[in-house]
Amino acid sequence: MKVIAPIKISYKNLMAAKLRSFLTILGIIIGVAAVIIVMSIGESAQRLVLDQVSGIGSDLIGVLPGAADEKGPPASLLGVVTTTLKYRDLQAIAKTKNVPNVKEVAGYVSGVGILKYESFSGSVSYQGVTAGFIDVENVELEEGRFFTQEEERNLARVMVLGNDRAQEIFPNQNPLGKIVTLGNSNFTVIGVLKKRGSVAFSNSDQAVYIPLFTAQKILLGIDYLNFARIKINNTQNLERAMVDIKATLREMHNLKTDQEDDFSVRSVAQATSVLTNVTNVLKFFLVSIAAISLIVGGVGIMNIMLISVNQRIKEIGLRKAVGAHNYHIIVQFLAEAIFVTVIGGIVGIILGIVISFLAAVIISRLGYEWDFIISPLSIFLATLVSILIGIIFGIYPAFKAAKISPMEALRSE
């Protein structure tokens, strides 16, 4: 009964001033809901990113231009243009005398251009790739064929389209053999890929692929690669292959022993680890920002409790006059502060879960493989933080109330 009594009194006091109580609780509701939403969306986004990277394949090694710390992303991923990776580097890696465990290699460059066909005209992202792309990426053709190494070397103006892109440009038509314009050049469509979805942040169903040299020399005017992928014959040989690739590139770039790499070689496992670290930092940074609203809510509770103390001087004095000790008053006001924050926390958790679920539904309908994730840790933390805020921001008003004497109560009349 001693435990329940302060809660009953807290409930009665809250009901006596419903609007004030609601406004007090509202700050906590918003803060807790914000933390739940940010943690849920952060977890889901992290899962999406990691699944995208893992979808590339465990037998692939990525090579990016520019040096990078082992725990951080390469400079090229941060938007820095680096031109150190060349086609001849890819050729060197493809030689089994340099990398005995290599199975296939693919080089990539990217660009944006206007693609036109009859009444269709639109801006598209295209990739210039080597002929080995189809084996490295494990893509399948629905119809037609992929371009050959000979077409690649001869700057052939041929094009392979993703499934959705082909249907967009050629509704109710067979795209094979059709002539389209990309930039100022005409290309012949020779193949259409099977539906595949989004992998490694690239939606192959919307893709436009042309030979690497054609993209470099005719459309982009560059002589470097944006990145390369190397397929290994066995995942057990992954570490050895990475060592061989690094040694080959250092030799190709004439790097001395005391010079750092001007490239980055990463396996899927390493890329996953780096992205996990990066996304964790971003996730907890956003959570900390969302938590500021909880502090604001706590300050609001303290202000309201201080007002409540001033309005209840007579009540406090009367309780002391009939035998209440200071700790009774402290417990009462702390109970009221905790009661307010716990109620706000529960409503905030429910609201946060509902909004996170609606966000997951909307994002899924936009075509992303988005998981609805609510971790028990986030609910536990939200509840714990609510209680702590009630205690922390209720201490000062509680002690101020405890200092009121019966004489002060009489003077306040």
Quick one: average pLDDT of 10-16? 61
Q: Does 66 map to a domain?
A: no
CA pair distance 271, 275, nearest whole angstrom: 6
> Is there a single domain that holds both residue 105 and residue 153?
yes
Helix (H) or strand (E) segment spanning residue 161: strand 158-161
> Is there a single domain that holds both residue 241 and residue 336?
no
> Is there a single domain that holds both residue 241 and residue 292?
no
Confidence of residue 327 (pLDDT cuts 50, 70, 90): confident
What is the per-residue pLDDT for 407? 64
Q: Does 115 map to a domain?
A: yes
Q: Does 63 map to a domain?
A: no
Share of the chain above pLDDT 70, in %: 79
> Is there a single domain that holds both residue 116 and residue 233?
yes
Q: Does 267 map to a domain?
A: no
> Is there a single domain that holds both residue 245 and residue 286?
no
Tell me which of 23-32, 193-202, 257-266, 368-377 is least confident: 193-202
Q: Does 9 map to a domain?
A: yes
Range of the structural domain that residue 230 is part of: 83-261
Confidence of residue 144 (pLDDT cuts 50, 70, 90): very high
> Is there a single domain that holds both residue 247 and residue 278?
no
CA pair distance 161, 210, nearest whole angstrom: 9
> Is there a single domain that holds both residue 40 and residue 140?
no
pLDDT, one tens digit per residue, over 227-256 is 999 998 887 888 898 899 999 999 999 988
> Is there a single domain that holds both residue 223 and residue 311?
no
Question: Among residues 261, 294, 310, which one ends one of the domains?
Answer: 261
> Is there a single domain that holds both residue 96 and residue 208?
yes
pLDDT, one tens digit per residue, over 64-83 is 888 765 555 555 555 566 78
What is the per-residue pLDDT for 1? 43
Q: Does 375 map to a domain?
A: yes
CA-to-CA dists, residue 118 to 115, 164, 264, 320, angstroms: 10, 18, 43, 90
| β-pair type (158-161, 185-193) | parallel
> Is there a single domain that holds both residue 124 and residue 256?
yes
> Is there a single domain that holds both residue 93 and residue 238?
yes
DSSP three-state, residue 318? helix
Question: Among residues 212, 240, 261, which one ends one of the domains?
Answer: 261
pLDDT of residue 99 exceeding 50: yes
> Is there a single domain that holds both residue 237 and residue 333?
no
pLDDT, one tens digit per residue, over 152-195 is 999 999 999 999 999 999 988 899 999 999 988 999 999 999 98
| β-pair type (120-129, 198-199) | unpaired
Q: Does 97 map to a domain?
A: yes
Question: Among residues 226, 261, 296, which one ends one of the domains?
Answer: 261
- Calculate the CA 237 to chain-centre distance: 31
Q: How many domains does the chain have?
A: 2
Q: What angle do CA 319, 22, 395 make, to 5 degrees?
A: 45
pLDDT of residue 90 exceeding 90: yes
Q: What angle do CA 266, 271, 272 make, to 5 degrees?
A: 150
